[in-house]
């Protein structure tokens, strides 16, 4: 696997495969890779001839007081994992390489509607940073397909709308959440948890499962969500949000909604954990 740090070198490396008609897949990451990221590489390999991963801790998607400086940088370990997973090329640029004029004057991309609420409310500007860097990477790599994890469900919805609205010729593939044996969704931020907090952390997924079951059993959504919120608090979490939305566009659920999704974000010690769970409301009792 080749590692490149500069835009010009990336373009040169991709020119030959593109001329040869090879399909190119992109897997954008911020590094500190876990098994979920490597599953994205495997999925990308199934969709393309050449797999390009990127590692870039994007300052535009971190707000004031967030963990930009503390976010783990583990390039050597990430390179080894990507190579084992079958990645062909790694692009790991510096901030100056991607944003040469500086962050204050950088052109930014805003995706209206779907980026608002949920994490968009808690992290103002976060999805503008995501949309901006993904647009840059789509332009630089010009992939045929790009793979993103479904754990960051709102982010995936933002990227799907971005791709449609800006007419990027890129197929967006969402990969199911990869979980530890106890149900905790894999995340780079899980490394912030103490041993005690790590033992508590699966309570987030357990709460979502309980909420799903209550909804299917016919419990009114407002009552089921209120009970689940209380359970999160009793399990040691500080909830940010716990919401039920339409799965396709994150709009508000109504009487006609069948495919919905439960989304949650909660603080546990130093880590902000997010998770989601699909629920088929057509299965509701009564």
Measured CA distances, 57 to 60, 94, 115, 172, 205 (Å): 9, 9, 20, 21, 27
Backbone angles phi, psi at 252, to 5 degrees: -65, 140
* Residue 37 falls in the annotated catalytic set: yes
Buried b (16+ CB within 10 A) or exposed e, 105-126: ebeebebeebbebbbbeebebb
CA distance 36 to 224: 30
Interstrand relation of 238-246 and 259-268 (parallel, antiparallel or unpaired): antiparallel
Spatial CA neighbour of 136 closest among 271, 263, 11, 282: 11
Inter-residue long-range contacts of 237-241, CB under 8 Å, 24+ positions, other chains counted: 237/200, 237/203, 237/204, 237/266, 237/267, 237/268, 237/273, 238/266, 238/267, 238/268, 239/264, 239/265, 239/266, 240/122, 240/264, 240/265, 240/266, 240/267, 240/272, 241/118, 241/121, 241/122, 241/265
Marked catalytic residue, from 34, 37, 126, 167 = 37
CA distance 133 to 98: 8
Place of tokens 């020119």: 15
List residues with catalytic annotation.
Answer: 37
């Amino acid at each position: 696997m080749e590692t490149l740090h500069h835009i010009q070198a990336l373009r040169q490396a991709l020119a030959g495969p593109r001329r040869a008609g090879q399909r190119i897949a992109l897997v954008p990451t911020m590094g500190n890779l876990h098994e979920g990221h490597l599953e994205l590489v495997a999925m990308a390999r199934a969709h393309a001839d050449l797999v390009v991963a990127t590692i870039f801790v994007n300052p535009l998607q971190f707000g004031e007081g967030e963990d930009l400086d503390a976010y783990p940088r583990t390039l050597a370990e990430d390179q080894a994992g990507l190579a084992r997973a079958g990645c062909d090329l790694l692009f790991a640029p510096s901030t100056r390489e991607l944003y040469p004029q500086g962050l204050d004057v950088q052109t930014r991309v805003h995706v209206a509607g779907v980026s608002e609420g949920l994490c968009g409310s808690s992290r103002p500007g976060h999805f503008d940073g995501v949309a901006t860097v993904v647009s840059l990477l789509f332009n630089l790599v010009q992939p045929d397909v790009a793979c993103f994890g479904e754990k960051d469900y709102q982010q995936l919805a933002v990227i799907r709308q971005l791709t449609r609205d800006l007419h990027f010729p890129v197929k967006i593939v969402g990969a199911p959440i990869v979980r530890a044996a106890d149900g905790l969704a894999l995340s780079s931020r899980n490394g912030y948890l103490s041993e005690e907090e790590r033992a508590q952390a699966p309570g987030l997924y357990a709460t979502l499962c309980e909420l799903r079951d209550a909804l299917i059993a016919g419990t009114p959504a407002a009552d089921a969500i209120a009970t689940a919120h209380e359970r999160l608090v009793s399990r040691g979490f500080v909830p940010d949000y716990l919401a039920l939305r339409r799965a396709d566009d994150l709009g508000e659920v109504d009487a006609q909604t069948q495919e919905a999704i439960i989304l949650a974000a909660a603080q546990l010690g130093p880590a902000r954990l997010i998770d989601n769970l699909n629920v088929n409301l057509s299965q509701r009792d009564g």
